Structure 1
Amino acid sequence: MNQALARKWRPKTFAELVGQEHVVQALTNSLGTQRLHHAYLFTGTRGVGKTTLARILAKAFNCEQGVSATPCGTCSACTGIDAGRFVDLLEVDAASNTQVDKMRELLENALYAPTAGRYKIYVIDEVHQLSGHSFNAMLKTLEEPPEHVKFVLATTDPQKVPVTVLSRCLQFNLRQIPAEQIRARLAEILQSESVAFEPAAIAVLARAARGSLRDALSLLDQAIAHGGGQVDEASVSAMLGLAGHEHLYNVLQSLAAGDGKAMLAQADAMAAHGIAFEQALQELASLWHRIAVAQIVPAALSADDADQPMVQDLAGRFSPEEVQLCYQITNQGRADIVLAPDEYAGFTMTLLRMLAFAPEGATRAAIPAAMAASGAGGERRTAPAAPAAAAPTPQAKGAKAVDSPSKADAASARIADWAGLLGALRLSGMARQLAHNCELVGESGDVLELRVAAAHKHLLEKGPQERLRAAIEEHLGRSIRLKIEVGDPVGHTPAQLDEQERRSRLESATQALNADPFVRELVDGFGAQVVPDSIKPQR
């Protein structure tokens, strides 16, 4: 009789366990030194190996060859535990045995010596579902059990287990299994089962399992049946109702080209294939994450990933800022889709948001052209980008700012140019802080002279300076060198100008609020007070 893959390939030794090396190492060392505890608690999500680990531990305790981390697997105790017919292994489902009377009966039987094995093992699954009285009944036995009794508790929700029980157990937290390890295990099983498969298909199954190897094996059983004895990506995507990489790749290609019509056409094609759009947004967020990894840490990409060429191609079509923004828009779309008129509207609205908004400096020339061709009447609001003609031109060579009124006007003009230049650069982090707290002094040959206040000299690290220099070089199209001196700025830095603008807007907002008739009525008639910190001016 054919068994389900999850049962057929259930690990029988510590070495076969996948993704729980930290627990296996601790238990192996404990068994090797004969430092045996009387109560163990395994926690973790479903399908990560809690009950499997309990059975292997039971074999390690009762193997006829002796207590060790490598039970023989051939003696009557080992084979009996594997077959589920070992009389001294009692598996209890706490969800269906919550009554205190059942627990008392169980603990009374614990007093009797084991029938066939060295130890009597009690495995209580989903122990958090026991009633409070049941927990109280087992506390004393759990603290000082007979020498021949071992308790192995398992739960998916350790927060609901009383601390008095937790303190009496040796606790191990089983982690969710990484998708890469699940993928490798599925490939190994399919090869042993002589089932043809596509690497991309088992990668999809591994991600869909979300850290649960048991779920992955159940999905694999379903995929084999759905694919008629083989596992291919198209069949798996159709079975799971996934968007498929081809659809998402086409969507992002259209986004990179600014082609909204093609994006909506692709969404229509996904709807025709019966793809769940909520799931599609989840996959899209995962794809944005992989694109970001390809841009920032390309070495972290898996060499075995069949989609790596696609991800690298998309990484070259978007700036890192666009990827981060689109990732946030996608996640917000997942949260908003339940509020949309329907899933199609929620999905397409998320795509249109990506098309409509772009980070500062990002250009999508095809979008305004398409809007002009369609005769759209409204203006499209985008993040302001400095035009090429407005790029700052440094002052005449050798020009220096001095502390005189006539020179101050020239310094102010240079500040305006410097602020305009920064608006066109793609800077972030400390490099952006350094640039915004610097004053442009002048230019001498290929040297750009800047001044930063002593209060911000901590920004003068090599990394931020190099990123600032590289960004200016890229914008100006020529090599430059930065010379940054520490001193009090003559005029105002861009950061100071921004602060002045913020204060001016706050003052205007405060005056407008205090002059509002409704506010005056509340203040005069009811003694209300305006809380200054609550005033937030609008841009």
Structure 2
Amino acid sequence: MPDIDTEAEDDLPLPPSEGGGFFGDPEPIESPRSVPESKTSVPSAPGYRVLARKYRPAKLDELIGQDALVRTLRNAFAVGRVAHAFMLTGVRGVGKTTTARIIARGLNCIGPDGQGGPTADPCGVCSNCVAILADRHPDVLEMDAASRTGVDDVREIIEACHFRPIQGRMKVFIVDEVHMLSRNAFNALLKTLEEPPPQVTFIFATTELRKVPITVLSRCQRFDLRRVSQSELLTFFTKIVEKEHVAAESEGLKLIARAADGSVRDGLSLLDQAIAQGAGDGSVTEAGVAAMLGLSDRAAVFDLFEMVMRGDVTAAIGLSNSLYDRGNDPGLMLRDLAELTHTVTRLKTVRGLEETVELPEMERTRGAAFAGSLSLSTLSRLWQMLLKGISEVDDAPLRREAAEMVLIRLCHASTLPPPEELLKKLKVTDGGSSPPSVGSAVESSSNGVQAAASDDGGWRKKVANERWGGQDAPSAELVPLPQAQPQAVVAEARQPPRSWRELVAFVKDCREATLHGHLRHSAHLVTFAPPVVEFRVAHPAPGDLPKRVQALLHAHFGDQWSVRAVEAEGEPTLAEQSAEIIQLHTRRSAAHPLVQAILGAFPDAELGEVRDQTLDDHYGLPPEEFGSPAIGLDQDLYDPEEND
């Protein structure tokens, strides 16, 4: 074979400047001037940047609704006390990752002249700021812990900490969704996180703070980014539509701010979608936003609420069918009703809420009217029924039919009389006379009260028929508390307390729960000689406890009662006496031969709580004096003398 000249082989000839190439003549290429107008390629437009990226804050002052965080970071940079590890927590879209990048730029900014130091206001024009903004800075590393959860991923960060920064002043490690790291990964990070090199800063972001180990939290400076209020979101969205030269209705922006649920990114995404939806006429309207979000017409929701509270079943079902025909989901319709119920309840209970700008105009007008005409008990009952109805619709195979059944129940319940009105009806008859046999029952005995309660069924039916306009009541369940009247009369005829325990029981019957608790646990009786009562008040009962007891006795039994606080030791409290008796019963029960035999046969068995049916249910004391307790064991085997 002839020798091959390698130099000649390497020195290959170049293709001719004109004519065909090495592989034959290519097809002639028409110049742009010779191409017909229809074949001319249209230059591609630059990619559209969504509003959430276009208006992402680049400085601390541009963060919305995070005043505490901004103030703390500014002071930290000003005095040079920037922490080596941060934990940013909050719901999605409130600015956790954005804040982390701002901190990274502030740590590495060198200023326009290249001589600047760490600052809370990065210039945005130096090489470090530009590189961090473009996500290509070699010393600012972002890691998504949702996809890199293992120990090996954390070890890469630990090893990178040992090297000095390449371009910037500080190495910054931003770990997003840090709660997704495994337990071993967290443990591997602890030592480095506690004592990092001076040129390293860690910034963690998470939406699930409770899943982060406390050992990690204790090594970080924590910032809670709060939800952004609707008013702040509305102001922000208004500025954006002005910059984008888009006409937008205020009510439409309010719907977007409400649907954002405190998340700026969610709100910007919805605003972006609303602008695209209204691209035909270039406007964002309330109707368009409601249709985009799948919300029922707000006016229709108010009309449905009014029909339900009026008890108009026909109109409510008709409006429900109309909303369903327009594409509204039955479950969403009930949720809108529940949301309106909550809004009306807030308007009724929170003073000055109707004047806030966070509420749309319809809530401030019609909602305030509903709040003024409906009672709190009615709204609470409506809320509970709606919650149950929503769950029924979600689980029902026939969603529309289930929603209609819920509306029928709501309309029916709105016409029911409140309990306080029923009690008033039970106290008064046609002629204003007392119910038959009730007075005689009180005069005779407590057994007579029970007989009266069972004999006045016809009287209760008469009162119920009166409430329903002469017609039979829908059901017996609509007339509750059949024994309320006899019990009320007995309470009026109560005798003054004859002992300390009767006095404490009287306070309990008066539904003074706090006062009753203090008397049981903090009052040491010294003297009980009606109408004089003296006791020592122990901590933590208030010092005016005797005055409160005296005022209650005066209101029911006259002004002759005198209740005073003294310094004498007094008896143990009723709670202490009850505990002593239970302990005594427990010791006696443990010493009982039958119990010892059972424990001997079953070594792992334990003696449970001892109950004495003869003791007072509320205080654990004997009805009169301490006696031989009935412990609930076989009485033939129980010998009191043997166990004394």
TM-score with structure 2 setting the length: 0.58
Shift of 1:388: 11
1:39 has 2:39 as partner: no
Instruction: Confirm or deny: 8 A CA contact 2:310 2:411 kept in the other structure.
Output: no
Secondary structure of the residue aligned to 2:283 is coil
Whole-Å separation in 2 of the counterparts to 1:325 and 1:243: 23
Residue 122 of structure 1 and its aligned partner are, at CA, apart by 0.5
CA distance in 1, matches of 2:238, 2:118: 33
Matching residue of 1:246? 299
CA displacement at 1:136 relative to structure 2:
2.9
Local SS of the residue matching 1:346: helix
Structure 1 residue aligned with 2:64, among 18, 21, 32?
A: 18
Any idea what the Cα deviations from partners look like across 1:74-116, whole Å, max 9, x if unmatched?
A: 3332233223232221111112222333332232122221122
Correspondence for 1:288:
341
In the alignment, residue 161 of structure 1 is paired with which amino acid?
Answer: V
Aligned structure 1 segments of 4 or more residues deviating by more than 3 angstroms: 358-363, 382-385, 387-395, 435-441, 453-459
User: Who is 2:555 aligned against?
Assistant: 486
- Corresponding residue number in structure 1 for 2:250: 199
* Partner residue, 2:147: 96
Could you give the per-residue CA deviations for residues 233-287 of structure 1, whole angstroms, max 9, x where no partner exists? 1111111111121221110121233211110111111111111232332222221
Q: Deviations along 1:144-189, whole A, 9 cap, x unmatched? A: 1111110001112223223332222112222222233222222222
Residues 357 and 383 of structure 1 are in contact (CA less than 8 Å); yes or no, is this contact kept in structure 2?
A: no
How far, CA to CA, are the matches of 1:437 and 1:73 in structure 2?
82
Q: Distance in 1 between matches of 2:423 and 2:490?
A: 21
Contact 1:42/1:152 (8 A) holds in 2 = yes
| Contact 1:88/1:116 (8 A) holds in 2 | yes
What residue is the counterpart of 2:379 in the other structure? 323
Distance in 2 (CA, whole Å) between partners of 1:198 and 1:38 is 46
1:97, 1:405 → 2: CA distance? 82
The count of residues paired between Structure 1 and Structure 2 equals 425
Q: Give the distance between the partners of 2:255 and 2:64, measured in 1 at CA.
A: 18
How much is the aligned-residue C-alpha RMSD, in angstroms? 4.2
Instruction: Classify the secondary structure of the residue corresponding to 1:301.
Output: helix
Aligned to 1:525: none
Aligned to 1:446: none
Match of 1:112 among 163, 166, 188: 163
Distance 1:247 1:170, change over 3 A: same
* 2:286 match: 233
2:399 is matched with which residue?
343
Q: Alpha-carbon deviation of 1:387?
A: 8.6
C-alpha contact 1:454 1:488 (8 A) present in aligned 2: no
Q: CA deviation at 1:532?
A: 12
- Give the SS at the match of 2:204: strand
Aligned to 2:413: 357
Show the counterpart of 1:311: 367
**Correspondence for 1:83 among 131, 134, 141:** 134
Asked if the contact 1:63–1:72 (Cα under 8 Å) also holds between the matched residues in 2, the reply is yes
State the distance in 1 between where 2:394 and 2:161 align: 52
1:377 maps to what in 2?
Answer: none
1:125 to 176, 182, 189: 176
Larger Rg: 2
Unpaired runs of 5+ residues, structure 2, are 1-45, 111-115, 445-455, 468-487, 495-505, 513-551, 559-610, 614-644
Query: CA separation in 1, counterparts of 2:270 and 2:192?
Result: 41
Question: Displacement, 1:454?
Answer: 6.8
Distance 1:348 1:181, change over 3 A: farther
Which amino acid is the alignment partner of residue 387 of structure 2?
N
Contact 1:457 1:486 in 2 (8 A): no
Deviates more, 1:74-83 or 1:205-214: 74-83
Task: Write the deviation string for residues 447-501 of structure 1: whole angstroms up to 9, x where unpaired.
Answer: xxxxxx7777897xxxxxxxxxxxxxxxxxxxxxxx9952349xxxxxxxxxxxx
Q: Which residue pairs with 1:369 in the alignment?
A: none
2:342 alignment partner AA: H
CA contact (8 A) 1:321 1:359 kept: no
- 288 and 484 in structure 1: CA distance in 2 versus 1, 3 angstrom threshold: farther
CA pair 93-336 structure 1, distance change in 2 beyond 3 A: same
SS in 1 for 2:305: helix
Q: Confirm whether residue 163 of structure 1 aligns to residue 214 of structure 2.
A: yes
Cα distance per residue 1:43-99 (max 9 Å; x no partner): 222111110110111122122232232223333322332232322211111122223
1:291 CA drift (Å):
0.8
Matches within 5 A, 1:430-441: 439=492
Distance 2:422 2:319 in 1: 27
1:362 and 1:245 map into 2 onto residues whose CA distance is 29
Deviation at residue 310 of structure 1 after TM alignment:
2.2
1:436–1:336 Cα change, 3 Å? farther
Q: Is residue 322–residue 358 contact of structure 1 (8 Å, CA) maintained in 2?
A: yes
Distance 2:339 2:508 in 1: 42
Gaps of 5+ in 1: 364-381, 396-400, 407-415, 425-434, 442-452, 460-482, 490-530, 534-539
TM-score by length of 1: 0.69
2:227 maps to amino acid = Q
- 1:275 corresponds, among 324, 328, 347, to 328
Q: Distance in 2 between the 1:240 and 1:532 partners?
A: 63
Q: In structure 2, give the amino acid aligned to 1:208.
A: A
Q: Which residue of 2 aligns with 1:52?
A: 98
| Stretch deviating more after TM superposition (48-57 or 161-170) | 161-170
Aligned identity (percent) is 36
Tell me which of the two structures has the higher relative contact order, counting C-alpha pairs closer than 8 angstroms and 6 or more residues apart. Answer: 1
- Please say if residues 48 and 211 of structure 1, whose CA atoms lie closer than 8 Å, have aligned partners that are also in contact: yes
Summarize the Cα distance change of 1:148–1:336 in structure 2 as closer, same or farther, 3 Å threshold: same
Structure 1 residues 306 and 488, CA gap change in structure 2 (3 angstroms): same
- TM-aligned CA deviation for residue 306 of structure 1: 2.0
| Alignment check: 8 A CA contact 2:311 2:412 kept | no
The 3 A distance-change label for structure 1 pair 302 and 27 is: farther
Task: For 2:269 and 2:79, locate their aligned partners in 1 and report how far apart those are by CA, in whole Å.
Answer: 37
SS at match of 1:252: helix
